[in-house]
Amino acid sequence: MKKGFPCDSSAKMPALRCLAYPVVLWLLVLVKLPSGCTTKSKANAAARAAYSAGQLQATERILQSRNSVTIFGPVRNPLVPWTQDLTLAKALVASNYYGKSNPREIVIVRSGQPMAVDPKQLLAGEDVPLEAGDVVHVR
């Protein structure tokens, strides 16, 4: 046995104390064990609460996306609040576009229909008005 172990012969412990030591350890483990366990009803309640919270978050995102424009691509702020005068150029500035070069391709998805925008025309000043709920893909 290792030196310093309670049942070590150098510790000169009686045999009874030597046998009781592992039992005390197991009792400590058993006393701590129930605090980490949960009942099936508590687990189901926690799962229902988590599901409800997820549903609420999804609803909030949907409502928020109706009043904003979502931009996918090299941007720092992908959700831009929609205003009546919001254009593609303004949305790209508000989203903080950080691409190393000018975009090669821009696609606006409106009501599920993709609409390609030529980045060269956008840079030449031909801006496109955006509508609430539009999704812009910048590549």
Helices (H), 67-124: 88-94, 119-123
For 30, residues 6+ apart whose C-beta sits below 8 A from its C-beta are none
How do residues 64-96 score in pLDDT, each as one tens digit? Answer: 667 899 999 999 999 999 999 999 999 999 999
Under 8 Å between Cβ of 136 and 130: yes
How do residues 42-69 score in pLDDT, each as one tens digit? Answer: 888 888 888 888 887 877 777 666 789 9
One-letter amino acid of 33: L
Helices (H), 10-106: 15-36, 40-66, 88-94
Q: For tokens 């000043």, what's the residue?
A: 125
pTM value > 0.75: no
Domain boundaries, the chain: 67-138
Kindly state which CATH superfamily the domain 67-138 is placed in.
Outer membrane lipoprotein wza domain like (3.10.560.10)
